[in-house]
Amino acid sequence: MNEDQQMEFVAAATRAFLDNLTHTWGLPPATVLASAHATIITEIAVSYGGKMAADSARRAAERVESLPSYREAPIAAMAPQGQA
């Protein structure tokens, strides 16, 4: 497995695990995501230092800041209708 394949494998496994926590165990998605986020940022800090964790979080935030939520996505993807 090359590095891109490894990254996709880990991403898919992580999504499946988070889905399992919310759907099988019935945990609230906000709790699962907040806990996962805190754990991952902490692991990056412990492994590579706080600066690396903070820089990584900032880069990730810049990439996702303008993305719509699932709730907003259908509205954002709709073609304009009618006239203003």
* pLDDT higher than threshold 70 for residue 81: no
Domain membership flag for residue 33 = yes
The residues, ordered by sequence, that sit 6+ positions from 21 with a Cβ below 8 Å of its Cβ are 27, 32
Position 5 in a domain: no
**16-47 per-position pLDDT tens digit:** 999 999 999 999 999 999 999 999 999 999 99
- Would residue 8 count as lying in a domain? no
Does 36 fall in a domain? Answer: yes
Is the residue at 30 inside a domain? Answer: yes
Look at residue 76 and tell me if it is in a domain: no
User: 16 in helix, strand or coil?
Assistant: helix
Domain membership of residue 49 as a residue range: 26-58
Which tens digits make up the pLDDT trace of 45-55?
999 999 999 99
Q: What is the mean pLDDT of residues 56-64?
A: 95
Give the predicted TM-score (pTM) of the model: 0.73
The answer as to whether 82 is a domain residue is no
Domain count for the chain, please give it. 1
- Taking CA 12 as the corner, what is the angle to CA 37 and CA 39, rounded to the nearest 5 degrees? 20
Contact criterion met (CB below 8 Å) for 45 and 53 = yes
